[in-house]
Amino acid sequence: MLIWAPTRKSLDGRGTSLGTTRKVEIEQLSDGIFLLMRYESVEAPFPTSDHCYASLEEAYDECERVYGVDREDWVQR
């Protein structure tokens, strides 16, 4: 499973920080861990950073809190 979403900063400028993240992706790894990847552009081929979460809920919560990504913003690839 691989899902992605543009951040609020790239959608409508409502981001609360001056960060550079424009897109986030979440991928479930074979061991059940969820990898959150951050990108500086929607078209960037490689992430600028990543972080692992034990559950999809934790990754969703982080993206909502930090990047303003709502559940309906996510798209499956």
pLDDT of residue 16: 55
Domain coverage including residue 17: 2-76
Q: Domain tally for the chain?
A: 1
Would you give per-residue pLDDT tens digits along the chain (77 residues)?
A: 789 888 876 555 555 555 678 899 999 999 999 999 999 888 889 999 999 999 999 999 999 988 888 888 899 87
DSSP string, the chain: -EEEEE-HHHHHS--SS-----EEEEEE-TTS-EEEEEESSTT-SS-SEEEEESSHHHHHHHIIIII---GGG-EE-
pTM for the model: 0.82
